Amino acid sequence: MTRGNGWIGTILRVNLTEGTIKKEPLNMQDAQDYVGARGLGTKYYCNEVDPKVDPLSPENKLIFMTGPLTGTAACSSGRYEVVSKSPLTGIIGAANSGGHFGPELKYAGYDGIIFEGKAEKPVYLNIDDEKVELLDATELWGQGVHPVTEALEAKHGKVHVATIGTPGERGMLYATVMNDKNRAAGRGGMGAVMGSKNLKAVVVRGTGGVKVARPEGFMREATKARTMLREHPVTGAGLAALGTEVLVNIVNEVGGLPLRNGRDGSYWDKADDTSGERLVETHLIKNQGCFGCTIACGRVTKIEGRGELDGFGEGPEYEAGWSYGAACGVNDIGAIVKANFICNEQGMDPITLGSTVACAMELFEMGAIPESDIGFPLRFGDAMAMVKLTQMCADGEGFGNIIGLGSYRLAEKYGHPELSMSVKKQEMPAYDGRAIQGIGLEYATSNRGGCHVRGYMISPEVLGIPIKMDPLVTEGKGALLKTFQDLTALCDSTGICLFTTFGIGLPEIAGQYREAVGSDETDEEILLKGERIWNLEKRFNIEAGVEKDTLPPRLLREALPSGPAKGKVSELQTMLADYYEARNWTSDGIPTQEKLDELSLTY
């Protein structure tokens, strides 16, 4: 693999303490072994940072990394990754985002950026092709994502901006990095790490391009993938028409939509009020896509006639629609859209935030949180209290600061850590691991804590993509999840969107990758890189002191009270044993030396 083959070949190293900027050659061996974006960013991070580092200290580093397909003619190639140690979980915190920022970074001449140290005062990095400079951000500090983006666009012209809101400035544990206003590197608090460095934004304008190794073969593979995506019912029509929120009714139908912090099971007779179908009727203006994307699942939405709720923005996605909807028992879709707007405008993870509000509602209703602590009643179903608390969290006001700690620290503070619906301190998304067994295993083993996009078992268990598996059984889930996790690590690392995997598979991802970088590796050899990335993340987490792979007690002990999965709990231990065996890890979930040798993993 050589420079020019999907890669620019240059990394920016920005030392914020010293105010220095260096241009370094990309480590091409690591690029070959760890693909790009999530994998390569994590490899750089592991090479340079002590796993025990305090995530919000100057000793921590923050890495923006693109993949070899980012910004190329490959399908949905607008992705990049933000990598650091998560202040929320204390383990690896890679977060992926779309939009146009990643491609623009490559067009400016850089595959990635490594931020070190901490600036003395607020700064932003301005990249204009070969000109790279740190500029004063004092006047931007204290402002939200949208005004900062607009101010920087007004000053620098046709640029793409990645920035943080005021929660990120304050080190709020699940602050996001937002680019192109409403696209988020959303989970694990990468925005808090950015804020801890006094780094307000990264502005980029690029006029170059990205070369691939074998242009003719690459265009053949890219065209084939795009055709498959266009012709697939999900990626060609369904996601554009109804967005990800279309899942609400389907997941609810199988009894897998966690209701009121999971307290009341996972079937809701009001689910349709919060569905993608309902969003189209009430708030959708149009759909839109990220760079080079034919799927165009994004929702441009507005709220009118609701007084203080009125607004304009994007989303929500299915997960945010659930966290502010079913999880809080709120069926006012305008309030859900509004809460999501606040998250986008101030850079906060709506999955964690909505889930934390839901946890607070349960604690309040059982009397564990006194009203005096919150300042008002906080009962399930109270839409306006939910929006108010989200705004308080954004503003760092009163009880909003406690919500900003996430549900684990909230529940622990009030004496009931078992009521945090989180894994490794990060909140689980919108599927119940009791009704959909494989997704529970996925949450428990995810390398960044509770997360659905590390091995999306909903595809086989609910949607039947690529094969239909019974959500209530455990057999075969461990081995399939292992393959899904490895494929996801590969996909994230190439720089294309994970949603492409609804319509294409390993042959098409590997085909585009091979032609871009000039490789003659087989599909299986390329998938092995995904497994190497997964094991690298796991090794880092072990060194950082990761907690064991498990689920909240509610999922393991409280049987679902109703719905198609009535009486079920998660059969995690059975699946975990199969999963560890499939990974060739010990029965305690530790990668064996044999596996590390097979993967040539020395970390």
In the complex, minimum distance from the CB of residue 239 to other proteins, in angstroms, rounded to a whole number: 7
Q: Binding-site residue total for other proteins (CB under 8 A)?
A: 42
In the complex, minimum distance from the CB of residue 110 to other proteins, in angstroms, rounded to a whole number: 30
Identity of the residue, 7 or 499, whose beta carbon is nearer to other proteins in the bound complex: 499
Phi, psi of 573 (to 5 degrees): -60, -40
In the complex, minimum distance from the CB of residue 240 to other proteins, in angstroms, rounded to a whole number: 11
Cα torsion 56, 22, 19, 194 to 10°: value is -30
In the complex, minimum distance from the CB of residue 147 to other proteins, in angstroms, rounded to a whole number: 30
* Binding window for other proteins (CB under 8 A); candidates: 98-106, 389-397, 450-458, 548-556: 450-458
Cα torsion 170, 172, 173, 176 to 10°: value is -100
Give buried/exposed letters for 363-394 (b at 16+ CB in 10 A, else e): bbbeeebeeeebeeebebebbebbbbbbbbbb
- Helix, strand or coil for residue 116? strand
The DSSP code for 55 is: T
Q: Does 96 bind other proteins (CB under 8 A)?
A: no
Judged by CB under 8 A, the residue of 94, 184, 194, 234 near other proteins is 234
Q: Does 245 bind other proteins (CB under 8 A)?
A: yes
In the complex, minimum distance from the CB of residue 277 to other proteins, in angstroms, rounded to a whole number: 6
Q: Where are the alpha helices (DSSP H) in 112-172?
A: 145-156, 166-170
Q: Does 273 bind other proteins (CB under 8 A)?
A: no
- Helix, strand or coil for residue 585? strand
Identity of the residue, 317 or 571, whose beta carbon is nearer to other proteins in the bound complex: 317
Phi, psi of 250 (to 5 degrees): -70, -45
In the complex, minimum distance from the CB of residue 94 to other proteins, in angstroms, rounded to a whole number: 17
Q: In sequence order, what are the residues at sequence separation of 6 or more whose Cβ sits closer than 8 angstroms to the Cβ of residue 31?
A: 1, 7, 40, 68, 111
* Binding window for other proteins (CB under 8 A); candidates: 71-79, 186-194, 314-322, 534-542: 314-322
Q: Does 492 bind other proteins (CB under 8 A)?
A: no
Identity of the residue, 202 or 565, whose beta carbon is nearer to other proteins in the bound complex: 565
Identity of the residue, 458 or 490, whose beta carbon is nearer to other proteins in the bound complex: 458
Q: In sequence order, what are the residues at sequence separation of 6 or more whose Cβ sits closer than 8 angstroms to the Cβ of residue 185?
A: 81, 82, 95, 96, 97, 162, 176, 177, 178, 179, 191
Q: Does 233 bind other proteins (CB under 8 A)?
A: yes
Judged by CB under 8 A, the residue of 30, 373, 470, 543 near other proteins is 470
Tokens of 491: 């996909």
Q: Which of residues 497-526 bind other proteins (CB under 8 A)?
A: 498-499, 502
Q: Does 453 bind other proteins (CB under 8 A)?
A: yes
In the complex, minimum distance from the CB of residue 470 to other proteins, in angstroms, rounded to a whole number: 5
Q: Does 247 bind other proteins (CB under 8 A)?
A: yes
In the complex, minimum distance from the CB of residue 281 to other proteins, in angstroms, rounded to a whole number: 10
Helix (H) or strand (E) holding 343: helix 333-346
Q: Does 124 bind other proteins (CB under 8 A)?
A: no
For 120, 203, 359, the CA distances from 125, given in Å and listed in that order, are: 14, 6, 38
- Helix, strand or coil for residue 563? coil
Q: Does 468 bind other proteins (CB under 8 A)?
A: yes
Identity of the residue, 27 or 249, whose beta carbon is nearer to other proteins in the bound complex: 249
* Binding window for other proteins (CB under 8 A); candidates: 144-152, 251-259, 374-382, 383-391: 251-259
Angle formed at CA 529 by CA 104 and CA 162, multiple of 5 degrees: 25
Tokens of 417: 């850590």
CA–CA dist 573, 296 (Å, integer): 39
Q: Go through the chain and tell me how many residues it has.
A: 603
Q: Does 457 bind other proteins (CB under 8 A)?
A: no
Note the residues at the interface with other proteins (CB under 8 A): 233-234, 237-239, 241-247, 249-250, 253-255, 267, 272, 276-277, 297, 317-319, 452-453, 456, 458-459, 463-465, 468, 470, 472, 498-499, 502, 563-565
